[in-house]
Amino acid sequence: QVQLVESGGGLVQAGGSLRLSCVAPGRAPSARAFSTYIITWFRQAPGREREFVAGISWGGGETEYADSVKGRFTISRDNAKNTVYQQMNSLKPEDTANYYCAADPRYTISIQRDDYAYWGQGTQVTVSS
């Protein structure tokens, strides 16, 4: 089992930037290492389904993005710090949502919400026009 804690959300004007962090604070000695989890970011706006935003492989060598954020968002990870980041540039009002970090000990990135066993509580991002 892995606990996930997101941070970095806030209020920003359109065109601005934010960096989200997802930390897995500590683990039991018998637990899987953070580096053996696929980590993804999903987001959910009011009245809408939770949607895939970005995902990163175990070692960080593979990434995947939703079409709506390609070229603007960058996902990265630092396994030594048990942390995944999402740099969000050129933010738009339609990026406004609660952003969730999700993890699963799978081998490949999935864009399906149901494929992830562990979730954080989310961090709110609000982009004003």
89-105 pLDDT tens trace: 999 999 999 999 999 99
Q: In sequence order, which residues have a C-beta less than 8 Å from that of residue 72 and are 6 or more positions away?
A: 88, 89, 90, 91
Percentage above 70 pLDDT, the chain: 98
Pick the more confident residue, 31 or 61: 61
pLDDT of 31 above 80: no
Helices (H), 19-120: none
Residues 3 and 119 sit within 8 Å (Cβ to Cβ): no
